[in-house]
Amino acid sequence: MSVEIRHIDPSKGNGLFAKRQIKSGETIFEENPLVSAQFSWNAAYGYNACDHCLRPLETAEENVRRLSAKPNIVLPHPECCETNKTTITACPSCGINYCSPECQQTAFKQYHQTLCCQGEGEKHPLQILNEFWKQCHYPPETSTVMLIPRIIAMIQQSPTKDETLQSFLKFVHKHTNEEDQFVHKMFAEKFESGIDTLCEMTRNAVPNEGVEQLLTPDGYRSMLALIGTNGQGVGTSAISRWAHNVMVLSVSDEDKCKLDKLIDDLYDAMDAHAGVFLNNEGVALYSLQSTCNHSCNPNAEPTFVHNNNRLSLVALKDIEEGDEICISYLDECTLERSRHSRQKNLKENYLFLCACEKCLEEADQPEISTDEEVDMEENEDMSD
């Protein structure tokens, strides 16, 4: 490994550090998740993904037709589509789809044997839990309660239950007040009373033996806080992989310009119908990635180049031996906002104030948010 986990201090905890020089653009490491799940509303809206690894089950052409609501679109270069529909398989008992027999078998061995709905469909306690969660947590989604049944089932099915339990408990836990704040952020205020209902529904949906501590009211809040704190968003897309592969084809400059325009037109059509929600989206827990701290000037970012839930951490700049490897917990748009806006977002969502190099350099900025700055500029323009 080119990285190692080090303890920094009691307030910051652990961090991930480079054991050697890493060049910009280099893949620092790759990692499969301990557990992952598709967002509940994402699946409900027809984003068709492997139930285990989130690989797209649509072809690029099917993908763009659905997202643009234009059923007659025909894509050139179908060989650039990475979806292999010949390997798609389903659980014979409940019909859940997987991208391959390997994913189906892995899921069955890890958790699906316990969670299989056995043809009960909407009447199964797991589906009742999922529907209740959807009423408590609307898009844009940041997590899914369905990770918790998978975690419990993985512990139940593991030949080394204690070891598997510890693999989840080793994630950083917050004190009770912080857990309450994380849980509060996951729910609209009027739905917060539903947490006890979710806990009871989960107890009804999965075996409890050996995991009773996770299914008490306090234990359940800790689990929600755990996935809220450490969950890494996962996004996959058949059309984006097709577009990437098409643009690296060896074709004439004229054909490349035509393909470039076609791709722009396709994305305009999808944006007009589906907005920004173009990907199969879900959430996962990663042992190594979860040790990366935040920076508003990150030197690495998580990517999903395999178009499934396997995470690749890629260097954004040269990293020297001994440097801490940091990612951004904020999206690209939020990173470009003022220091005050970034700090406000991090405090609300992650309960810390950032002291990265960028924030320290901007410490003299006014304590107003980007939105407030825009409002002030608009008011000044109106007065002129």
In a domain, 227, yes or no: yes
Domain holding 186, by residue range, is 35-233
Q: Quick one: pLDDT at residue 189?
A: 62
In a domain, 90, yes or no: yes
In a domain, 228, yes or no: yes
| Each residue's pLDDT expressed in tens, for the chain with a length of 384 residues | 899 999 998 877 899 999 999 999 999 999 999 999 999 999 999 999 999 999 999 999 999 999 999 999 999 999 999 999 999 999 999 999 999 999 999 999 999 999 999 878 788 999 999 999 998 888 889 899 999 999 999 999 999 999 999 999 888 566 667 777 777 677 766 566 788 999 999 999 999 988 999 999 989 988 998 898 899 999 999 999 999 999 999 999 999 999 999 999 999 999 999 998 999 999 999 999 999 999 999 999 999 999 999 999 999 999 999 999 999 999 989 999 999 999 999 988 888 889 999 999 999 888 776 565 555 434 434 444
Long-range contacts, 114-117 (Cβ 8 Å, 24+): 114/153, 114/156, 114/157, 114/206, 114/207, 115/149, 115/150, 115/153, 115/205, 115/206, 116/91, 117/93
Q: Which residues of 322-335 are buried (b: 16+ CB within 10 A; e: fewer)?
A: eebbbbbbbeeebb
In a domain, 296, yes or no: no
In a domain, 277, yes or no: no
In a domain, 229, yes or no: yes
In a domain, 112, yes or no: yes
Q: Are 36 and 282 in contact (CB under 8 A)?
A: yes
If one counts the domains in the chain, the total is 1
As a whole number of angstroms, the distance between CA 183 and CA 108 comes to 30
In a domain, 76, yes or no: yes
